[in-house]
Amino acid sequence: MMKIVVCVKAVPDPQQACNIRIDPVTKTLMRCEVPLVLNPLDKNAMQAALDLKEQFDAHITALSMGPPDAEGIVRECLALGADQGILLSDRAFAGADAYATAYTLATAIAKIGPVHVIFCGMASSDGSTEWVGPEIASFLDLPVVTMVEEIVECRSLQWKVKASLAHGYRLMQVQLPAVFTVTRELNTPRALVFSGIIKARKKSIVRWGIDDLGVPAEAVGLKGSPTIVSKLTTTQSKREVNILTGTREEKATQLLQKLVDSGVV
Amino acid sequence: MIDFTFTEEQEMFRKAAREFAEIQVAPKVAEMEETGEVCDEVVKALGEAEMMALTIPEEYGGLGLGYTARLIALEEISKVSVGTAMMLQVFALGIEPIIKFGTEEQKKKYLPALAKGKRLASTAVTEATGGSDPTGIRTSYRKEGNDYILNGRKCFITNSHIADTITTLAKDDENPKAFSTFILEKGMEGFKPTHKEHKLGMRGCNTGELAIENCRVPAKNLVGGEGKGMRVALGAIGDVGRGGMVGCALGLQAACLEASVTFANERILYGKPISNLQAIQNKLAQMKIDLEAGRLLGYRAAAIQDKGGRSSNEFAVAKYFTTEAAQKAAKMALDIHGGYGCMEEYAVSRYLRDSFVLGPSAGTSDIMKVIIARWVLS
Ligand SMILES: Cc1cc2nc3c(=O)[nH]c(=O)nc-3n(C[C@H](O)[C@H](O)[C@@H](O)COP(=O)(O)OP(=O)(O)OC[C@H]3O[C@@H](n4cnc5c(N)ncnc54)[C@H](O)[C@@H]3O)c2cc1C
Ligand SMILES: Cc1cc2nc3c(=O)[nH]c(=O)nc-3n(C[C@H](O)[C@H](O)[C@H](O)COP(=O)(O)OP(=O)(O)OC[C@H]3O[C@@H](n4cnc5c(N)ncnc54)[C@H](O)[C@@H]3O)c2cc1C
């Protein structure tokens, strides 16, 4: 049986982004004001797992680290078709940066037992470092392909995937087990259906805290996070309109000068 | 005391219905408005999203989720398209007599395909001579051997041209006090949809006439026994029909409020958004009050219905209140939009037209008051 873990993050609803605030003192997101939803790209990650489950005998675990409220998104994954949910929730995990998050998730994956495929979103919509997937791979000593936009071949333990690049793509061959971070091009996530929600009644969500993972408190959460967010500023983008006057040649010269002055050319 | 919160699962149903409406229905609204025709993709999507299965028991291929879940789904779909919610509401209304009064054979024959959306349902009571007064109908039946022969015309029937299974009320040819309900099926000889209506609103939801000429209906298509027709057909309209209209109305109320808030925050006059004006705030507050009150009435009635209690009186109150409130909300939304509200680019002009179609369906406001007064005086 193909064992799949999908890492899913609860993020403040991006549709209510204008209400998201950052605490000026702790420099963390003030999450409580905005409802938590499943990170958009993690829906693609879930769909990738569900597509595999349609082809093969597969077992899907949805894994999330977050506050107790994050249980809602894990339940949603069960309703979408995951077989099992695990929520890593403990005060000790709070304040984690990408490194500590990946360490905690990797420890949980190791506890789950042998898995073949680990899917992550390419990025979260809030933190958006894009590091968590590769860092999980590194902690578990597994190969990783980021920005997967197509799974080309998955009949054996040698997968072929197409991954995006700034000006093209990479065609990669990977030996499972491996970590994949996915883009929205990979698939179109299916919507929740009522029967899925009913089926989720019978599925359980396991909650693991620091004792279940058996990790030292210094390795997780804020204490285990090497990142220091030293300063936070809000950026402002301003537009300005300049109308150039003169003959065509004069206008071209002025435009060129402006581009040089602003460092574009 | 009473717990007024939705369960986590009900919230997820709402999310599922909202996503469905936004992804599958919203892109088709303009087309439905323009053509006035049913959009096949929407009907197919409703089936795939299991929307027709909500009230059908699990043993017949449905989801058995009951009426609160149905109200949630209707409210969310109606927020995006009242016409689509109306179509869905009458599917359930057409199915209900089979669920409640059907024989085991009828349930096994019809319900599984209806649950999958492979067959579509409707209910046909109204005629030119009988709307508010269903005893005025003229469609008649007479027994011939093991069959019944039906003759008559039905009007204002939702899903008239797309439904396959239509629970139809008819009068005994020989006894004007006896009524029976039959399952008519698309393709039966002597039974066909004729005129299609062009409605003020709820465009994209099909309404039309049915002609029944010497239509031979086997006795096995009789629902709930001969002479029990009023109870069978009107019983379903009392709770499922009115409840469905409450869902349509609540969605429209919510849509009016949402559009108004957005517009009031965006429209700048005197250097500030008009949401700063008390006259505008007053309207927004009134819409919110009516929406909250309507929800309490509607979901309370649905909760009674889910418990198996008699809910038709509570639904009469909720239907009256929410359909009237939806009309007021649509007018206020239009007013808040000023001249823009009269332009078809703005959804509020559609809301206003739709709001006027909510009234008559499943009984007018006058009739709701007749029912409520009877309840009070009983
Ligand atoms: C203002 C601000 C600045 C920050 N700056 C930094 C910084 O400079 N360096 C740093 O390391 N952190 C920083 N953080 C914290 C960081 O954003 C996240 O909280 C971190 O825990 C996860 O990284 P990410 O959200 O960037 O995930 P990404 O790497 O963008 O997420 C990719 C995928 O990883 C998986 N994933 C991520 N988080 C979880 C989770 N909790 N549970 C399950 N799966 C998950 C999902 O599949 C997700 O799609 C900052 C936070 C804030 C609010
Ligand atoms: C969009 C739409 C969809 C419909 N779908 C269906 C369907 O699927 N199946 C179906 O069978 N029918 C359907 N109907 C018909 C609907 O049920 C009737 O229109 C409704 O019952 C009113 O009947 P009527 O139109 O004949 O009006 P009438 O009964 O002629 O009413 C005319 C006026 O008299 C008033 N009135 C009547 N009786 C009283 C009274 N006792 N006291 C005070 N005032 C009274 C009414 O309120 C109204 O103002 C639909 C109607 C619409 C508009």
Residue B261 lies in a domain: yes
Phi, psi of B47 (to 5 degrees): -65, -45
Cα–Cα distance for residue pair B237/B362, rounded to 1 Å: 6
Where residue A146 sits, what CATH number does that domain have?
3.40.50.620
Write down the pLDDT at residue B223: 97
The predicted complex's ipTM stands at: 0.87
Token digits of residue A108? 């949980």
pLDDT tier at A16, thresholds 50, 70, 90: confident
Cα–Cα distance for residue pair A83/A265, rounded to 1 Å: 55
Cα–Cα distance for residue pair A167/B361, rounded to 1 Å: 58
- Whole-structure pTM value: 0.89
Residue A235 lies in a domain: no
CB of B350 within 8 A of CB of B201?
yes
Residue B139 and residue B106 share a domain: no
Residue A7 lies in a domain: yes
Sequence-separated (6 or more) residues with CB below 8 Å from residue A260: none
Residue B101 and residue B130 share a domain: no
Mean pLDDT within B177-201: 97
- Tokens 């597994």 correspond to what residue? A142
How big is chain A, counted in residues? 265
Residue B2 lies in a domain: no
Residue B54 and residue B97 share a domain: yes
Q: Among residues B120, B137, B160, which one ends one of the domains?
A: B120
Which of the ligands is closest to the CA of residue A87? 1
Residue B263 and residue B365 share a domain: yes
Mean pLDDT within B157-184: 97
Q: Provide the domain limits for residue A172.
A: 2-219
How far, in Å, are A217, A222, A223, B154 from residue A91 at the CA level?
10, 10, 12, 66
Atom of ligand 2 nearest to the CA of B94: 8
Residue type at position B189: E
Q: Is the dihedral of CA A130, A133, A138, A139 positive or negative?
A: positive
**What pLDDT digit, counting tens, does each position of B239-250 carry?**
999 999 999 999
Residue B107 and residue B26 share a domain: yes
Q: With 80 as the cut, is the pLDDT of residue B31 above it? A: yes
Write down the pLDDT at residue A32: 65
Phi, psi of A56 (to 5 degrees): -125, 170
Q: Among residues B100, B120, B140, which one ends one of the domains?
A: B120
Number of domains comprising chain A: 1
Cα–Cα distance for residue pair B271/B250, rounded to 1 Å: 34
Where residue B340 sits, what CATH number does that domain have?
1.20.140.10
Residue B171 and residue B160 share a domain: yes
Q: Provide the domain limits for residue B22.
A: 8-120
**What pLDDT digit, counting tens, does each position of B203-213 carry?**
999 999 999 99
HEC per residue, B218-279:
EHHHEECCCCCHHHHHHHHHHHHHHHHHHHHHHHHHHHHHHHHHHHHHHCEECCEEHHHCHH
Residue B263 and residue B366 share a domain: yes
Cα–Cα distance for residue pair A235/A243, rounded to 1 Å: 26
| B-interface mutation test, from A193, A202, A203, most B Cβ less than 10 A away | A193
Say if ligand 1 is within 6 A of residue A133 CB. Answer: yes
Q: What is the DSSP string of B310-374?
A: --HHHHHHHHHHHHHHHHHHHHHHHHHTGGGGGSTTSHHHHHHHHHHHHTTTTS-HHHHHHHHHH
pLDDT tier at A239, thresholds 50, 70, 90: confident
HEC per residue, B72-104:
HHHHHHHHHCHHHHHHHHHHHHHHHHHHHHCCH
Beta strand residue intervals within chain A, DSSP E: 2-7, 10-12, 21-22, 29-30, 36-38, 58-65, 84-88, 117-121, 144-153, 158-165, 168-175, 178-182, 205-208
Residue B250 and residue B223 share a domain: no
Q: How far is A108 from chain B (nearest CA, A)?
A: 26
Residue B105 lies in a domain: yes
Residue B366 lies in a domain: yes
Where residue B151 sits, what CATH number does that domain have?
2.40.110.10
Range list of H helices, A162-218: 194-199, 210-213
| A-interface mutation test, from B7, B8, B11, B12, most A Cβ less than 10 A away | B12
Residue B203 and residue B269 share a domain: no
Residue B1 lies in a domain: no
Q: Among residues B75, B101, B120, which one ends one of the domains?
A: B120
Write down the pLDDT at residue B178: 97
Residue B114 and residue B135 share a domain: no
pLDDT tier at B188, thresholds 50, 70, 90: very high
Residue B373 and residue B235 share a domain: yes
Number of domains comprising chain B: 3
Residue B366 and residue B242 share a domain: yes
Residue A40 lies in a domain: yes
Atom of ligand 2 nearest to the CA of B124: 11
Atom of ligand 1 nearest to the CA of A121: 49
Cα–Cα distance for residue pair B312/A165, rounded to 1 Å: 62
Cα–Cα distance for residue pair A219/A225, rounded to 1 Å: 8
Cα–Cα distance for residue pair A70/A87, rounded to 1 Å: 8
Write down the pLDDT at residue A31: 62
The answer, for B69 touching chain A at a CB cutoff of 8 Å, is yes
Cα–Cα distance for residue pair B255/B79, rounded to 1 Å: 5
Cα–Cα distance for residue pair A46/A4, rounded to 1 Å: 10
**What pLDDT digit, counting tens, does each position of B333-368 carry?**
999 999 999 999 999 999 999 999 999 999 999 999
**What pLDDT digit, counting tens, does each position of B50-82 carry?**
999 999 999 999 999 999 999 999 999 999 999
B 18-37 → A contacts, CB under 8 A: 19-20, 23-24
Distance B130 CA to ligand 2 centre (A): 8
Cα–Cα distance for residue pair B323/B371, rounded to 1 Å: 16
